[in-house]
């Protein structure tokens, strides 16, 4: 059988003689760190409307434009930090957002690899401290996409490497595409299994470069999320993490961003369910049984919802370093979404 477009999601059709068919309001916050006017620098501003950004930062500012495109694509709330025109201010801004609750995705407008690395480190550090999130960064224009992407290799970073084109034919920064995708991620905060394949990007009418099927494969295998124009609208082809691992045949294996979003959703909700245990639980066997039952109930719920395919009985024990600390170890398998459907027709004439 001929496999069409190795990495592109879709439904593919072939003949063979055998075989078978194989923004509504939510708590999600989009963090935006970008250049703006030389006032209102370094503070977190909550943005709900385009007019909020225009009033605080003014028109024709990078930070205002990113807020605008995020809102137009469904972001309900934005935590925006203006760094003025000083690249050194990004680090402080990332640290502020690292301690901010309910942020699900962060973007910045810098193409400097050192700054983008700081964003990645901030995202990873926050996620390791019960503030799970992802980051999205854009490639510098005319850069070697594969070389640039090799700087990341992180399951919490999404990479974009295409640029919007405005109505006058001017190529604009890829950060606009990152802001639009960040909004789509925030909309799926409470529905993390919803696929991004074919998701429509609003307020962008054209892209550069246009990708052939071969280039789409190259992007995906490099850990870069590709987009395309179909019927006068821009769509996500496949949203993936920048994490790359070699499979048994030595080919890069990449994963949909949904895997990390589902994992974060499950951990976040189990953690919130266990908060109630702290008010009445002593660190002894009876309490362990209660905690175990709560965790199993939640895991079974996610199994029935189709978020996970299996789970093991949680391992619960007392910390050897601190008797007041209860350790809960989870082991579950997240279901990977379908990217391709191959139809094989057995036809008799």
pLDDT at 324: 76
Domain 29-189+195-256: state its class. Answer: alpha beta
Query: Of 260, 8, 7, 300, which Cα lies nearest the Cα of 133?
Result: 260
User: Which residue is it, tokens 């190529």?
Assistant: 171
Q: Would you kindly state where each structural domain of the chain is located, as residue ranges?
A: 29-189+195-256
Tokens representing residue 203 in the block: 């307020």
Q: How far apart are the first and last CA of the chain?
A: 20
The pLDDT score that the predictor gives to residue 132 is 95
Residues contacting 109, CB < 8 A, separation 6+: 33, 34, 35, 62, 63, 66, 173, 175
Q: How far apart are CA 233 and CA 261, in angstroms?
A: 26
Q: Residue 43's pLDDT is what?
A: 97
Longest dimension (CA), the chain: 75
Retrieve residue 11's tokens.
Answer: 């439904």
Q: In angstroms, rounded to a whole number, what is the distance separating the alpha carbons of residues 167 and 171?
A: 10
Q: What is the DSSP string of 303-326?
A: HHHTSEEEEPPPEEEE-SS-TT-E
* CA dihedral for 1, 257, 194, 335, sign (positive or negative): positive
236 neighbors 9 (Cβ within 8 angstroms): no
pLDDT, position 4: 41
pLDDT of residue 274: 84
What pLDDT score does 288 carry?
79
Cβ proximity of 235 and 198 under 8 Å: yes
What does the pLDDT read at residue 21?
A: 28
Cα–Cα distance between 116 and 108 in angstroms, integer?
8
Tens digit of each residue's pLDDT, the chain (349 residues): 333 456 666 544 433 333 332 256 778 999 999 999 999 999 999 999 999 999 999 999 999 999 999 999 999 999 999 999 999 999 999 999 999 999 999 999 999 999 999 999 999 999 999 999 999 999 998 899 999 999 999 999 999 999 999 878 889 999 999 999 999 999 999 899 998 999 999 999 899 999 999 999 999 999 999 999 998 899 999 999 999 887 767 667 889 999 999 999 999 999 888 876 666 555 555 577 888 888 999 999 999 999 999 999 999 888 888 877 888 899 999 987 655 444 445 555 5
Query: What pLDDT, on a 0 to 100 scale, did the predictor assign at position 23?
Result: 52
């Amino acid at each position: 059988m001929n496999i069409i477009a190795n990495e592109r999601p879709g439904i593919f059709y072939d003949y063979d003689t055998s075989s078978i068919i194989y923004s509504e309001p939510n708590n999600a916050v989009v963090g935006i760190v970008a250049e703006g006017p030389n006032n209102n620098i370094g503070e977190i501003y909550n943005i709900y409307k385009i007019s909020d950004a225009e009033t605080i930062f003014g028109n024709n500012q990078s930070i205002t434009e990113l807020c605008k495109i995020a809102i137009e694509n469904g972001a309900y709330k934005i935590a925006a930090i203006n760094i003025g025109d000083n690249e050194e201010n990004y680090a402080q801004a990332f640290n502020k957002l690292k301690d901010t609750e309910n942020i699900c995705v962060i973007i910045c407008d810098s193409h400097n690899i050192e700054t983008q690395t700081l964003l990645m480190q901030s995202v990873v550090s926050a996620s390791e401290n019960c503030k799970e999130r992802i980051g999205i960064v854009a490639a510098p224009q005319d850069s070697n996409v594969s070389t640039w992407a090799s700087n990341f290799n992180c399951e919490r970073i999404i990479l974009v490497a295409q640029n919007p084109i405005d109505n006058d034919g001017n190529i604009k920064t890829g950060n606009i595409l990152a802001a639009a995708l960040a909004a789509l991620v925030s909309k799926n905060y409470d529905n993390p299994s919803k696929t991004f394949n074919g998701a429509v990007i609003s307020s962008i009418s054209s892209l550069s470069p246009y990708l052939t099927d071969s280039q789409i494969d190259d992007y995906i295998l490099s850990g870069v999320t590709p987009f395309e124009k179909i019927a006068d609208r821009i769509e996500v082809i496949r949203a993936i993490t920048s994490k790359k691992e070699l499979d048994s045949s030595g080919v890069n294996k990449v994963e949909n961003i949904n895997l990390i979003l589902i994992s974060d959703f499950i951990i976040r909700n189990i953690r919130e369910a266990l908060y109630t245990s702290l008010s009445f639980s002593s660190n002894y066997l009876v309490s362990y049984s209660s905690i175990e039952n709560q965790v199993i109930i939640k895991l079974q719920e996610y199994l029935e919802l189709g978020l996970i395919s299996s789970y093991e009985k949680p391992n619960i024990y007392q910390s050897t370093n601190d008797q007041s600390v209860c350790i809960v170890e989870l082991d579950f398998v997240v279901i990977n979404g379908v990217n391709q459907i191959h139809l094989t027709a057995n036809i008799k004439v």
